[in-house]
Amino acid sequence: MDAYRQEIIIAAVLVYLAICVATGIWAMRRTKSSSDFFVAGRSLGPIVLALAIFSSTLSGFGFVGGPGLVYSGGVSSFWMITSGIIGYSICFMLVAKRIRLVAEVRNSISLPDIVAARYNSEAVRFLIALTIVLGVMGYLATQILAMSLVMQSILSGIETFADISLITCSILSSAVLIFYCVTGGIIASVYTDLVQGAIMIIAGVLILLTANSLLDGGLTQASQIIMQDDSEAMMPFGTFGIVTCLGWFFVFGLGVAGQPHMITKMMMNRDIADNRAILPLSIAGYVLSALLWIAIGLVMRALVLDGQTEPLTEVDQAAPMFLSVFANPLLAGIVFAALFAAIMSTSDAFLNIGTAAIIHDIPKAITGRPIKNELLGARIVTVALAALATAFALFSYYVNGSLVALLGAFGWATFAAAIFPVVAIGLNWKGATRQAAIVSVTASLVINLSIQLFAIKLPYGINGGLVAFLVSLILFIGISLVTRAEGQLAPDMEKVMDI
């Protein structure tokens, strides 16, 4: 079987891509309105939604960057995983019910729609839509670049495609993404997420079993090898130190409730009561998929330290090297398909919310009414946005290497700092005011952008995103307490917040 390793991997990825295309064609028949395109007509069941939620948050970073972080820095990055469990719970408690209530009462189809209804303000709608567009461009370009690089590394392994260019790979992978997003909108996106989530869970479990079998003493022996070399790498704060880990806990934990690609999905379930099952199902999927992150990182670090394999030249090679050397070819095929799945499930979610912000929210915030034939416009904008992000990714790769990384890093922390206070607190506290929303969103954008642009480094690894998040939260609550909320909340929103 080893002789056909590359062919098996390519076959697995092709089967996966074919499933995505088929889902797009199937979903096209169910997409008849902009509500279907953006929020699946609020008709999704608990299993579909649970898998869609976790798979869209665990991007390619979890499958490539995560193991690389463990290989390079020991257990520090485990804080990102464990904080996610609490983060999901907070997100469901603060956002899942309220966002779905507002969506039904106001027939909202996007996150900016929700905040515009809550604060009775087009300015807040515009700022949130702008935040989404800025964050989405960076995130989407990062994901498309990762997808193209993975495809290039897979295809170049066989003679026929040995010299395939990155541009060709980016066109091929983006074409599949665009096809199913344009034809089937969010319906195609969530049903491919279902497949993607299932593949990610299977891959996580199988990789754990494989990694555990590589050393006689399993993962315990891997931990002992790492500890003998450098005990701090296996201690709870890893090599990056306590302040970095606690910053990650705050930004990645609480920040979950500010991620628009995740919380928008909470508007799509057919019954709010399903949330009771969706939360544990999502977390179970997330934890099982994250096993890959932990297992590959630990075992690769231990094997290199033990001299059983050559050191990696780049930390992000941890997962590809593990798959190409230690995993069964069939498993490697599944994991590469899972990697594509992880990247695509995040990309399609971003494409969807970015399109909604451009075609639905920004025009509405400026002119006060939606554009005509929104569904057609949404399909055109989806193609344009994906093409722009692909061009942006390639430009960054060949001309300005830091551009995508800069905007990618800008993404998560900006969403957390700008959206969490306005949505998670604002939907649960009648005292929150539009003045506070405008100031906190603006402050979070300015602080995050300044930290990225000027590459500001804080002592002891204090996370810049943490600072922006803290400032944004304090401004939001503080300004709300000193400004008057009376008259800002529409009567129906007041009733929604009493439920």
Partner 1 sequence: MRTPVIVILFCLLLCCGLLVAIALAPEVSGALGIAHPRISPMRAGGDGALRLAEIGLYAFAFHCLVLCCVVSFFALGVSQRRYDTRLYIWLAVILIINLAVWYLTYSSHQHYLRTGSTAFFLAFPIPTAWMLYGMGFCGAVFIAFYSIGFKKYVYNEEDAKTLAELVKEQQQQQPN
Residues 323-352 that bind partner 1 (CB under 8 A): none
| Helix-helix angle 111-119:434-453, to 10 degrees | 140
Which sign does the torsion angle of CA 88, 89, 90, 94 carry?
positive
**Where do the H-state alpha helices sit in 238-360?**
242-248, 260-263, 275-305, 318-325, 329-355
How many other CB atoms are there within 10 angstroms of residue 95's CB atom?
24
Pick between residue 16 and residue 326 the one whose CB is nearest to partner 1.
326
Q: Which helix (H) or strand (E) holds 479?
A: helix 464-482
User: With binding defined as CB under 8 A, does residue 305 bind partner 1?
Assistant: yes
Residues 361/110, Cβ–Cβ less than 8 Å: yes
Pick between residue 47 and residue 243 the one whose CB is nearest to partner 1.
243
Task: Give the nearest distance from C-beta 205 to partner 1 in angstroms.
Answer: 16
Torsion angle of the four alpha carbons 467, 473, 479, 484, in this order, in degrees rounded to the nearest 10: 170
When binding is defined by CB under 8 A, the residue of 63, 79, 139, 180 that contacts partner 1 is 79
User: With binding defined as CB under 8 A, does residue 32 bind partner 1?
Assistant: no
User: With binding defined as CB under 8 A, does residue 219 bind partner 1?
Assistant: yes
User: With binding defined as CB under 8 A, does residue 484 bind partner 1?
Assistant: no
When binding is defined by CB under 8 A, the residue of 90, 133, 171, 485 that contacts partner 1 is 90
Residue for token pair 């904080």: 83
When binding is defined by CB under 8 A, the residue of 54, 179, 237, 415 that contacts partner 1 is 237
When binding is defined by CB under 8 A, the residue of 229, 375, 391, 442 that contacts partner 1 is 229
Pick between residue 31 and residue 259 the one whose CB is nearest to partner 1.
259
User: With binding defined as CB under 8 A, does residue 483 bind partner 1?
Assistant: no
Q: Choose one: 48-56, 94-102, 165-173, 187-195; the region binding partner 1 (CB under 8 A).
A: 94-102
Task: Give the nearest distance from C-beta 81 to partner 1 in angstroms.
Answer: 8
CA distance 145 to 148: 5
CA distance 27 to 187: 6
Task: Give the nearest distance from C-beta 363 to partner 1 in angstroms.
Answer: 20
What does the buried/exposed string (b/e) look like for 151-187 if buried means 16 or more CB atoms within 10 Å of the residue's CB?
A: bbebbeeeeebeebebeebbebbbebbbbbbbbbbbb
Torsion angle of the four alpha carbons 267, 22, 64, 8, in this order, in degrees rounded to the nearest 10: 160
Pick between residue 306 and residue 391 the one whose CB is nearest to partner 1.
306
Task: Give the nearest distance from C-beta 285 to partner 1 in angstroms.
Answer: 13
Residue for token pair 């995560």: 66
Q: Residue 494, exposed/middle/buried by CB under 10 A (0-12, 13-18, 19+)?
A: exposed
Q: Which residues pair with 269 in a beta bridge?
A: 44
When binding is defined by CB under 8 A, the residue of 171, 272, 403, 405 that contacts partner 1 is 272
3-state SS, residue 158 = coil
Pick between residue 26 and residue 429 the one whose CB is nearest to partner 1.
429
User: With binding defined as CB under 8 A, does residue 119 bind partner 1?
Assistant: no
Q: What are phi and psi of 269, to 5 degrees?
A: -80, 155
Q: Which residues pair with 44 in a beta bridge?
A: 269
Pick between residue 7 and residue 492 the one whose CB is nearest to partner 1.
492
Q: Choose one: 16-24, 177-185, 189-197, 222-230; the region binding partner 1 (CB under 8 A).
A: 222-230
User: With binding defined as CB under 8 A, does residue 209 bind partner 1?
Assistant: no
When binding is defined by CB under 8 A, the residue of 43, 89, 153, 328 that contacts partner 1 is 89
How many other CB atoms are there within 10 angstroms of residue 243's CB atom?
16
Contacts for 271 with CB less than 8 Å, ≥ 6 apart: none
When binding is defined by CB under 8 A, the residue of 14, 18, 25, 273 that contacts partner 1 is 273
When binding is defined by CB under 8 A, the residue of 137, 147, 149, 254 that contacts partner 1 is 254
Pick between residue 240 and residue 412 the one whose CB is nearest to partner 1.
240
Task: Give the nearest distance from C-beta 270 to partner 1 in angstroms.
Answer: 12
Looking at the chain, the number of H-run helices and the number of E-run strands are 23, 0
- Among positions 454-473, residues that touch partner 1 (CB under 8 A) are 458-462, 466-467, 470, 473
Pick between residue 166 and residue 287 the one whose CB is nearest to partner 1.
287
Pick between residue 219 and residue 330 the one whose CB is nearest to partner 1.
219
Residues 345/193, Cβ–Cβ less than 8 Å: yes
- Among positions 398-457, residues that touch partner 1 (CB under 8 A) are 424-425, 428-431
